[in-house]
Structure 1
Amino acid sequence: MTVLSGAPANQLAVANPWSMVPSLGNLDAYISAANRLPLLTQEEEQTYARRLRDHNDLEAAGALILSHLRLVISISRQYLGYGLPHGDLIQEGNVGLMKAVKRFDPDQGVRLVSYAMHWIKAEIHEYILKNWRMVKVATTKAQRKLFFNLRSMKQGFKADSADGDTHRDTLSSDEVSQVASRLNVKPEEVLEMETRMSGGDVLLDPSPSDDGDEGFGPIAYLADASQEPTAQLESRQRDRLSTDGISTALATLDDRSRRIVEERWLKVNDDGSGGMTLHELAEVYKVSAERIRQIEVAAMKKMKKALADFA
């Protein structure tokens, strides 16, 4: 065994450090071998880190990585509940560990174990979010935080359940409020994330039936007709008429007719109801409700002609 220059004789830091770890074909053997690798003292860690930083010494990098493989294994066990292979979680965590070793600054006064935990968890989180579901359940930073915390908090609620119902899958309203308050998010976001996590992936394409006939899948009724070219042209025309066209048509009316049309058809109150009634407008203009109706009909005819010319 070739020992790194300047390292203790009993240090398992070899010229090819990965030869000390068995192949990934046997996960138990890998974990057992990684747990037997000795830890570095703070002085040894500082020495190897400076050699890597100052001289790009890959043997020193290998020594730092080997001594922290057990940390990756320990962290990866926290994510076994997501149904992903333990070996893959360890592999992604090792990627994070190597990134941490590459960026580690020994002069900051922090041990590598503390610095590397963030990078290891970050890589495992990214792997879970990409592979837990075909469709991403969390994309923003806030959603990712909610995704990982909600799962663990739900387990805590089940354990503390007063009625002993450990099989309950949904959160109560009080539990939703607790999660939202603790994670500083809206209760609606908690409910949405819980729905995303509880749902499963659905195969869009139809799968053949046992008798060989073509199956039926959601793709058959999920076709987006709005993307058809003719439908898009019609949609753009409607949007143009509802904005510029309405404005142009209103400009052809006198002030009284324009206000009547706006109050009757274009105003919406806070409670969702429409604008003023015929009788209310009659009170404003000191005329009968029938007269307001006649003005409205004449104004609508004039606007219809203006819209036809605009189109």
Structure 2
Amino acid sequence: EVVNMNRRMMMGGDGSLNTPMRGGEEGSGEWQDWLTDDRPLQDETVAEAEEAEVRHEMLVEAMESLNDREKHILTERRLTENPQTLEELSQVYDVSRERIRQIEVRAFEKLQKAMKAIAGERLLPGAA
């Protein structure tokens, strides 16, 4: 550490980020003006969080258009971190894997339709 400190001192020492560039010429700016912050802007972060919350609320509301079996199958197949297989769900409901797939597809289509209707209602209240 001492060696590094000595090298820095020999190279001109430490300087302030508020030091004007180009020997203090007016309008030349300060060294700190060249620093960038890679973090997302706070207003973007807040907007993304609000949008995610609205989408979640819409999903919960749209899920109400499904019956219990459709909710369970869709949730277990598409909305969990470790989705269940068609085989696992076919054993739960004592139907074929193909039937589970059909129910999943139909439930997803119903969910999409419900979400579009909800989004339309939120954008144009009273139009639907």
**Normalization by structure 1: what TM-score?**
0.27
Q: Hey, what does 1:265 align to over in structure 2?
A: 78
**Aligned residues of 1:264 and 1:276 also touching (Cα < 8 A):** yes
Q: Hey, what does 1:282 align to over in structure 2?
A: 90
Q: How does 1:166-185 map to 2 (within 5 A)?
A: none
**Normalization by structure 2: what TM-score?**
0.59
Cα RMSD (Å): 3.0
Q: How far apart, CA to CA, are the structure 1 residues paired with 2:68 and 2:77?
A: 14
Choose which of 37, 53, 59 in structure 2 pairs with 1:246: 59
Determine whether 1:225 maps to 2:38. Answer: no
Structure 1 portions without partners, runs of 5+:
1-202, 269-273
Q: Secondary structure at the match of 1:221?
A: coil
Determine whether 1:292 maps to 2:106. Answer: no
Structure 2 portions without partners, runs of 5+:
1-15, 120-128
Q: How does 1:51-66 map to 2 (within 5 A)?
A: none
Shift of the alpha carbon at 1:237? 3.1
Q: Hey, what does 2:51 align to over in structure 1?
A: 237
What is the CA deviation profile of residues 228-267 of structure 1, one whole-angstrom value per residue up to 9, with x for unaligned ones?
5xx644532321221x222211111112111101112333
Decide whether aligned partners of structure 1 residues 234 and 287 sit closer, same or farther in structure 2, where only a CA change above 3 A counts: same
Larger of the two Rg values belongs to structure: 1
Q: How far apart, CA to CA, are the structure 2 residues paired with 1:245 and 1:294?
A: 24
Q: Percent identity?
A: 34
What is the CA deviation profile of residues 34-83 of structure 1, one whole-angstrom value per residue up to 9, with x for unaligned ones?
xxxxxxxxxxxxxxxxxxxxxxxxxxxxxxxxxxxxxxxxxxxxxxxxxx
Q: How far apart, CA to CA, are the structure 2 residues paired with 1:277 and 1:290?
A: 12
The number of aligned residues is 98
Question: Which is bigger in relative contact order (C-alpha 8 A, separation at least 6)?
Answer: 2
Q: How far apart, CA to CA, are the structure 2 residues paired with 1:224 and 1:208?
A: 27
**Aligned residues of 1:241 and 1:307 also touching (Cα < 8 A):** no
Q: Which amino acid aligns with 2:92?
A: V
